[in-house]
Every structure is written in C-alpha cells, then in structure tokens.
Amino acid sequence: MSDAKTAEPTYYNSCYRHGVDEKRRVQIPAKWRPEQDGVELTVILWPKHQAGTCLRVLPPEEMAKLKAQIDAMPRGDANKNVLKRFIGSGSVQVTLDKGGRICLPEEMASAAHLKDEAMLVGLIDSFEIWNPARYEHVKAADAAFASEAFKLMD
C-alpha cells in the first residue's frame, strides 16, 4: 500500500472581489491555488461575452483539454488555425508568487478593463477575471438564462 496522498481536485467556485495593485497583481483565493509550487496557469484573453472581454484562467489539465479540442478539429477547418493563433498569441503562462498572486500582463489587463479591482468568478473547472462593473452585466444576463440552462441538467 502506498503512502502517497492522492491530490484532491480543485473546484473553482464562488466569487471574490480583490484589488489589483500597481504591478497588476491579483490575489488568488487560497482554495484555488495549486497545491504544488511552480504550477503554471494559463491566462487567456477571452472575448466571448457580449458584456466585453475578460480573462479566463485555466489550470494545466484544462489547458490540455482545450488543446485536445482544437487538435481534434479537421485539418482543413480554417477555424482550427484561427483558434490556435488567437489563443496562442492571446495567452500567457503565469505562476503564483509567494503571496499567492498572479501578475496580469499590461495589454491583457487593459483589454479586460482591469485597473484597481477585479472580480474572480469560479467556473467549476477554471475561473474568470472580470472588471467588476462588466461582471454585474454578466451576472444579470446569466440570471435571465439560468432557468433554461438548469433544464439541461437531470
């Protein structure tokens, strides 16, 4: 029998409002931090919401799933290369500093309108970083669709 401890999965749930300091560092909630030091998270500029751009943060296993999804697209599908270029050029790997913070690249923070405060929003398997005012619009839109979305679940 092995004494090796099985790592518990990280679930990104709840919302946290944190300050963004002058170096564009944002505190990551303790429950969301990787157990091991040096784990790289991928921050992607995510323009997929009508409320505006946010930053999506993926742990390594979710980044691997995203890559596999894109790789599974047909070779001749023009969207495949568009996605590879867009995600490849619009993402960075970050590690947490000793204080549990990540540093947001200036261009990404600017595109997502992140200045003094950020709203970290759990997506169960990843999380997003929103401008708080933009997130209020997202939250209202989500509430309008929630009853229909829950019908898809058993």
Position 45 in a domain: yes
Q: Does residue 1 surpass a pLDDT of 60?
A: no
Which domain range does residue 107 map to? 15-147
Q: Does residue 6 surpass a pLDDT of 70?
A: no
Position 1 in a domain: no
Q: How many domains does the chain have?
A: 1
CATH code, 94: 3.40.1550.20
Q: Provide the pLDDT for residue 73.
A: 94
Position 122 in a domain: yes
Q: Look up residue 126 and give its two tokens.
A: 């990843």
Q: Provide the pLDDT for residue 69.
A: 95
Position 152 in a domain: no
> Which position has the higher pLDDT, 104 or 51?
104
- φ and ψ at residue 87, rounded to 5 degrees: -70, -40
| CB distance 130 to 32 below 8 Å | no
Q: Coil, strand or helix: which one is 121?
A: strand
Q: Does residue 52 surpass a pLDDT of 50?
A: yes
Which of 122, 131, 115, 137 shows the shortest CA–CA distance to 54?
131
Position 118 in a domain: yes
Q: Does residue 51 surpass a pLDDT of 80?
A: no
With 0-12 CB in 10 A as exposed, 13-18 as middle and 19+ as buried, what is 111? middle
For the segment 31-55, the average pLDDT, to the nearest whole number, is 89
Give the start-end residues of each E strand in the chain: 15-19, 25-27, 41-46, 54-58, 91-94, 101-103, 117-122, 127-130
Q: Provide the pLDDT for residue 43.
A: 97
Which amino acid does the sequence have at 149? Answer: A
Between helices 60-71 and 78-89, what is the axis angle to 10°?
A: 150
